[in-house]
Amino acid sequence: MHITAEKLGKIESINEETLVVGVFAKQLKNGVIDQIDKIADGTIKRFLDKKEKFGKLFETAIFHIPASKHKSIEKVVIVGLGKIDELDRYKIRQLGGFVGKSLARDVASFAIYLPQEVGLEKLADVFVVGLAGGVFDPGHHKSEKDEKSKKKEADVVLLSADLIDKKLIDQGLMIGETLNKVREVVNQPANVATPEYMVKFAKRVAAENSLKIEVFSEKQVNEMGMGIMASVARGSEEDLYFVVMRYLGAGSAGPTLAIVGKGITFDSGGISIKPADSMEWMKMDMAGAAACFGAMEVIGKLKPKINVVCVCPLTENLISGKASKPGDVAKGLAGKTVEIINTDAE
């Protein structure tokens, strides 16, 4: 997806095939709608006159524009923004996701205008994060790809009264694309996203963003005395790994943030096995680790003046003759012993 920004001028100057306009509930009329209505032969005004309650968040109405009325715009999409005093950062991001999912895989180009009260000039990064997330395609293992997934990326123009800083757009796009990268990893089946696969993902993030990384093997974990962690991996044929990634942006005396992510690439529950119903979702029990690695990528690109330490254990929790049993005792790194009552409480 290619995103640029332009100052809102006359509707006649828009070159995209679809125009998206946001409206607040109970504030349906504005100068932009009036301009658009001229090329829509008055259909928008007639619609809004009848639908006085239009404007709930994500509510949409589509108007097709006659070819004789505009050189480029083929349709106008009016999107509800909800109540003006209830629109926050989270909803702005949701709105971006809604627009991205609804349009970015369907049309070649579209322009977006949100009322000035939204403050897109300051929150463009939040909106773009959602927009990028909306185009995510989870069907990476489908034998036959649908036509939408084959389509080239859409060209998107953000229209506003004051020109939006390109840095905000680039930052939002970077964060959104990193989120999609993480979602791609989390959606992988457990026979693909093994602990070793996760280690390779972490190493790639570290290498591309000049981050320090240490990967401890199962043997090293046991030698360090991390017996509680090692006990989780005993039932799996896959090796256990313990990943420590560091970003140093504030020197040795600077503030340090620690982030910890659970990396169980499949969680059967072990001997205390989970019910079969919906167990397939346990391929996602490593989402915490994937999110942390994604966070480190964003941190490495944004370069904040802090230090960040990311710690993620990576293993499977499975059943075998070697698996930990309820009643077993394991000793942790601090020397404390723990009796395992439920092997699903890793």
What predicted TM-score, i.e. pTM, was given to this entire model? 0.90
With a pLDDT cut of 90, the percent of the chain lying above it is 81
The arithmetic mean of pLDDT across residues 116-140, rounded, is 92
- The arithmetic mean of pLDDT across residues 122-131, rounded, is 96
**Terminal alpha carbon distance of the chain:** 40
Q: What is the mean pLDDT of residues 104-125?
A: 90
Q: Check: CB of residue 32 under 8 Å from CB of residue 15.
A: no
pLDDT over 70 at 150, yes or no: no
Distances (CA, A) of 286 to 7, 78, 282, 325, 335: 43, 39, 8, 22, 26
pLDDT tens-digit readout, 165-199: 999 999 999 999 999 999 999 999 999 999 999 99
Q: Hey, which bits of 53-146 come out as E strands?
A: 60-64, 75-80, 109-113
pLDDT band at 148 (very low <50, low <70, confident <90, very high): low
Alpha helices in the chain (DSSP H): 31-39, 43-50, 89-99, 120-134, 147-150, 166-186, 195-208, 218-223, 227-232, 287-302
Mean pLDDT value of segment 298-317: 97
Q: What 3-state class would DSSP assign to 173? A: helix
- Under DSSP, is residue 328 helix (H, G, I), strand (E, B) or coil? coil
Percent helix, strand and coil across the chain, each rounded to 5? 40, 20, 40
Q: Extract the tokens encoding 256.
A: 């340090």
